Amino acid sequence: MKICIVSDSHDRSDPLVAAITEAQAAGAQAVIHCGDLIGVNTLRTSLKLGIPIHAVHGNNIGDIPALYRMMAKTNGLLTYHGQEAMLELGERKLFVTHMPHHGQAFACTGDYDLVCHGHSHTAHVGLQSNVKGGQTWLVNPGSVAGIDAPGVNAVPTWILGDLDAMTFEIRTLQPPNGRDS
């Protein structure tokens, strides 16, 4: 099963839609949003793409009651989990949070195959040693909106994950018409 992992969209719908569209074209069957989504309008166009979206809070949580009201109207297409999510997708156990230190702590437990987090706006894919003597994938998709992304030519980033192969590829988006996203 392939998944689209995004974070830190900060009320910017267009790059979120672009990442999800690219992920769907690559075979993704679900979206994981690691927080700082902000408002419901950010999701309206993404939900029209018909792919399930799992989202958690960030430190910029926005209008939580509106997100829960939207979720109730999507017939299961949007699941807003609150501060963190424990998911089973593609026969893998996933933990999703916004804060990097929470992500690293949960990866250290060895209870999950994949831990996803956001917040730093810096994309990263790596393995974290865990207390069970193994390693857990720990990924941060960066900012799908490209906000405060590192580098002179900062671009929005997201991750295409393959849960069967346990591979995770950082992807970039180019701003439309040379503008900021």
Confidence of residue 61 (pLDDT cuts 50, 70, 90): confident
Per-residue pLDDT of 84-131, as tens digits, reads 999 999 999 999 999 999 999 999 999 999 999 999 999 999 999 999
Average pLDDT, the chain: 93
C-alpha 73/C-alpha 159 separation (Å) is 27
Per-residue pLDDT of 149-158, as tens digits, reads 666 567 899 9
2-178 placed in CATH 3.30.565.10: no
Per-residue pLDDT of 35-53, as tens digits, reads 999 888 999 999 999 999 9
Structural element, H or E, at residue 83: none
C-alpha 97/C-alpha 106 separation (Å) is 9
Higher pLDDT, 22 or 181: 22
Q: What is the DSSP letter of 170?
A: E
146: helix, coil or strand?
coil
E strands present in 7-156: 28-33, 53-55, 78-80, 85-89, 92-96, 114-116, 123-129, 135-141
pLDDT of residue 176: 53
Asked which of 17-21, 32-36, 146-150, 154-158 is least confident by mean pLDDT, the reply is 146-150
Structure tokens at 149: 């992304």
- Residue 180 confidence (pLDDT) above 70: no
Percent of the chain with pLDDT over 90: 84
pLDDT of residue 178: 46
Confidence of residue 164 (pLDDT cuts 50, 70, 90): very high
